[in-house]
A and B are shown apart, each in its own frame.
Chain A
C-alpha cells in the first residue's frame, strides 16, 4: 500500500491511539467485531455458510464432485479451496484474473485445513485409482471490510461441517437428493491473523485499518493449541519476540472463535 501524506498522519494518530488500547471504531486491540454464522444458505451447494462480521460479509460454498485421484495418492480424495475478491465487494478490488492477495487467502485457508488433516481424504475414496470425491470449497466476499483470511477460514469450516454427500445414482451424483452422510470433518482449525501497527498487536482489522498495517502473521490453531499453518505478510520484518507474542494472542483468540462453529 502506498503511503500518502494523509494516511501517514492518520497512521501516526492510530498508532498513538493503539498504545492506549483504542481503535478507530472504539474496539480494543484484541477485540473481534461481532460474528454471526448461518449455515445451509445456498440451495445449490452441498454445504454452505454465510458469515457476517461487522461490515464484512462472506459466503462459503462446498461443491462435491467425482473425479479421478492423483496418481501419487490413488486412494485419497481431493480437497481444493478457492477465493475470489469480487469487485462488487470493495472499490479497491478489480476484475480480471485472481490477484496475488486472492491467491494468498485461498492458499493460507487451504493450508490450515490440509495440514491439520481436518478432512481425512482417504475417506473420500470411492474406488481406488478410479473414482474419488472432489471437495471444492470456495469463498466469495459479498462485502469486504477486512480480515478476509480469518473470516474466510471460519466460513469455510462452517460450510464443510454443513456439507452432505449427494446420493449416487449409477455412480453419478444426484444433486437433487442429498444423503444424510456428512463430510468426514474431524478437526476444527481456526485461523487468526495478528497485525503489527507501530508497536501494537491488533486482530480483526477493518479494510481501512489493514491499509495501516506494518506486518501480519496468520496462525492456524487446533483444539489442543498446536499450530498447523503460518504465513507472514506485510513489508516490515518481525523479531522473534513479536512472533511469540503474536502466537500467544492467536491461541487465545482461536478459542473464542471456535465456539462459533
Chain B
C-alpha cells in the first residue's frame, strides 16, 4: 500500500459530501438534483407520454429513454462541444440499462418515459451522479419501482481500494488507477451498472466491489430521505 492518505483527506470508503433534493424542476413530472463533491447532476422525468417515432413503441409496456448531457461549461478543461457525442451516447445507454431493472412500465403500453440528465459541473463520477439523480426523479414522478438505484464509483489508486474517486485521484500518476462505476439495487445487492477503466487484479476488484456496498446503501438512504422531504 503506497497510497496511504487520500489527496483530499477522505477515508477510503468515504464518499464526497452529498446533497440531494427532489422536485427541483417544476415543469417536469418528476425531478431531482444530486451533488457529490463538485459533481452535480439534474434529472428530469417526463411521461409516461406518447412515444415517437412510432416504430420504437412497445405494445406490451412503456419504454424508458435516457439522455445524458454535459453542459458546455461543465468540464474543467476545454469547452464541451454541445450535442451528442460518442461518450454521451454510450453513457445514456448504460444509464438506461442501470435503471430499467427497477422500473415497471407494464401499465403504459406504447408510451415512453423520458429521463433527461444534465450536468452543470463535473469532477469525475458524473454518470453515477446522473443515475442516482435519475432514480430519485423517477420515484418523484410516481413511476412504479421495485427499489432505488444507487450509484457511485469504486476504484483503486496505487494499490489502495477506494470509493468515489474525484478527478485528481483519477488522474493520479504515481501508480496504477482503476475507476469502476457501479450501480446497485440496494435491497438485493444486484449490480445493474459495471464499467471499468484502468488496471486492477481479480482479487482487488472483488475487494473494491465489497467496499462500495455500504457507501451505496448510505446513498440509497440519502436518496430516500430526499424524496420524503418534499412532502414534509
Cross-chain contact A237 with B200 (CB below 8 angstroms): no
Cross-chain contact B100 with A227 (CB below 8 angstroms): no
Interface check A228, CB cutoff 8 A: yes
Cross-chain contact B90 with A104 (CB below 8 angstroms): yes
Cross-chain contact B100 with A240 (CB below 8 angstroms): no
Query: A27 CA to B97 CA in the complex, in Å?
Result: 29
Q: Residues of A contacting B205 with CB < 8 Å?
A: 227, 247
* CB contact under 8 A between A237 and B196, given known A72-B77, A227-B202: no
Query: A248 CA to B202 CA in the complex, in Å?
Result: 8
Interface check A111, CB cutoff 8 A: yes
Interface check B22, CB cutoff 8 A: no
Interface residues of A in 225-261 (CB under 8 A from B): 225-240, 243-244, 247-248, 251
Cross-chain contact A230 with B194 (CB below 8 angstroms): yes
Cross-chain contact B196 with A100 (CB below 8 angstroms): no
Interface check B232, CB cutoff 8 A: no
Q: Residues of B contacting A227 with CB < 8 Å?
A: 178, 196, 199-202, 205
Query: A106 CA to B185 CA in the complex, in Å?
Result: 28
Count of residues in A whose CB is under 8 Å from the partner chain: 35
Closest-by-CB residue of B relative to A233 is B97
**Shortest distance in angstroms between A72's beta carbon and chain B's nearest beta carbon?**
6
Cross-chain contact A239 with B191 (CB below 8 angstroms): yes
Cross-chain contact A251 with B202 (CB below 8 angstroms): yes
8 tightest CB-CB pairs across the interface, nearest first?
Answer: A237-B190, A230-B196, A232-B194, A100-B93, A237-B192, A103-B86, A238-B191, A115-B197
Interface residues of B in 183-224 (CB under 8 A from A): 185, 188-202, 205-206, 209-210
Q: Residues of B contacting A248 with CB < 8 Å?
A: 202
Query: A231 CA to B180 CA in the complex, in Å?
Result: 10
Cross-chain contact A222 with B191 (CB below 8 angstroms): no
Query: A229 CA to B180 CA in the complex, in Å?
Result: 9
Query: A251 CA to B197 CA in the complex, in Å?
Result: 17
Residue picked from A71, A104, A248, most chain B C-beta under 10 Å: A104
**Shortest distance in angstroms between A210's beta carbon and chain B's nearest beta carbon?**
15
**Shortest distance in angstroms between A122's beta carbon and chain B's nearest beta carbon?**
13
- A interface SS class: mixed
* CB contact under 8 A between A240 and B209, given known A217-B194, A232-B191: yes
Chain A interface residues toward B at CB < 8 A: 2, 71-72, 98, 100, 103-104, 106-107, 111, 115-116, 217, 222, 225-240, 243-244, 247-248, 251
Chain B interface residues toward A at CB < 8 A: 58, 60, 77-78, 86-87, 89-90, 92-94, 97, 100-101, 178, 180, 185, 188-202, 205-206, 209-210
Cross-chain contact B101 with A115 (CB below 8 angstroms): no
Cross-chain contact A226 with B190 (CB below 8 angstroms): no
Closest-by-CB residue of B relative to A116 is B199
Query: A232 CA to B196 CA in the complex, in Å?
Result: 9
Among the listed A104, A225, A234, A244, which residue makes an inter-chain contact with B201, where contact means beta carbons less than 8 Å apart?
A225
* CB contact under 8 A between A107 and B90, given known A227-B205, A230-B194, A243-B194: yes
Cross-chain contact A235 with B199 (CB below 8 angstroms): no
Query: A204 CA to B122 CA in the complex, in Å?
Result: 37
Cross-chain contact B90 with A100 (CB below 8 angstroms): yes
Query: A248 CA to B192 CA in the complex, in Å?
Result: 20
Among the listed A2, A116, A237, A243, which residue makes an inter-chain contact with B58, where contact means beta carbons less than 8 Å apart?
A2
Closest-by-CB residue of B relative to A217 is B194
Cross-chain contact B197 with A229 (CB below 8 angstroms): yes
* CB contact under 8 A between A235 and B201, given known A100-B89, A103-B86, A240-B189: no
Query: A256 CA to B188 CA in the complex, in Å?
Result: 35
Query: A242 CA to B89 CA in the complex, in Å?
Result: 27
Q: Residues of A contacting B209 with CB < 8 Å?
A: 240, 243
**Shortest distance in angstroms between B205's beta carbon and chain A's nearest beta carbon?**
6
Query: A231 CA to B100 CA in the complex, in Å?
Result: 17
